[in-house]
Amino acid sequence: MERWITALFFSLIVFAGHAQPAYRRIAVSKDIELIQLSESAFVHVSWSELPDYGRFPSNGLVFASKGEAFLFDTPMTESLTKDLVSWITDSLKMNLVGFVPNHWHEDCTGGLAYLQRKKVKSYANQQTIGIARSKGLPLPEVGFKDSLQLKLGDRTIQCFYPGAAHSTDNIVVWIPSEKILFAGCMVKSMDAKNLGNTADGDLKAYPNTLRLVLRKFSGAKIVIPGHGDFGGIELINHSLSLLK
């Protein structure tokens, strides 16, 4: 009996060592929640409702350091974006200094007009700016073609265009200090059964784009999809399997 109890004790230690850490969750409103990934990084999850989909969540990222913060993707509406920005400034005590959308869709740029009124500088793939212009949408200020490196204090933010996938303009954002990859809608959560909306994407290019992301950011510890639960590199492999 004593040996059995000892074996069970060590089994529990091993299990605890491999268990996913419990992340702090912060309720901003009934439609916005933040999940703290590290001292500096938060997933923002906002819920919206569409006639064809019902109520669904969308993910974005807040990265903060030394009194300043960057926002990656807005919620779908200006009202939700205002609530999120108010939390960043009032509760997190950070000055929002920059914004980068993953692509041109509303679940990435729905709050851009509000950010522009707040004088938040915005950066985007040049293709995103071109599509937004053609559709009469608010335009991000600074464009880039293949990659863009931003600084937040002594931290580096890398924005990279790997090719068309969910949309023709989708990018990924890599935070080296946190080993966090914000992949957006090109990557699906583990419970996703299909690729979702690909009407503005490129299914032919999609697998090569994902393989490039997998090679380039193989050291990612946390991968954040556009919708659903975040995880690790397995989310990219799962997305590749959905393409088959």
Active site residues: 103, 105, 107, 166, 185, 188, 197, 227
Give the Cα separation of 102 and 74 in Å (integer).
10
**Chain mean position to CA 210:** 16
Cα separation of 107 and 109, whole Å?
6
Cα distances from 5 to residues 11, 12, 14, 97, 189, in angstroms, run: 10, 11, 14, 55, 38
The SS3 call for residue 72 is strand
Outline where the chain has alpha helix (H): 2-18, 78-90, 106-109, 112-117, 126-134, 206-216, 234-243
Burial of 8 (0-12, 13-18, 19+ CB in 10 A): exposed
Cβ contacts of 153 within 8 Å, gap of 6 or more: 65, 66, 68
Strand partners, 40: none
Taking the C-alpha atoms of residue 13 and residue 77, their distance in angstroms, rounded to an integer, is: 45
What are the φ/ψ torsions at residue 25 (nearest 5 degrees)?
A: -115, 135
Amino acid in position 6: T
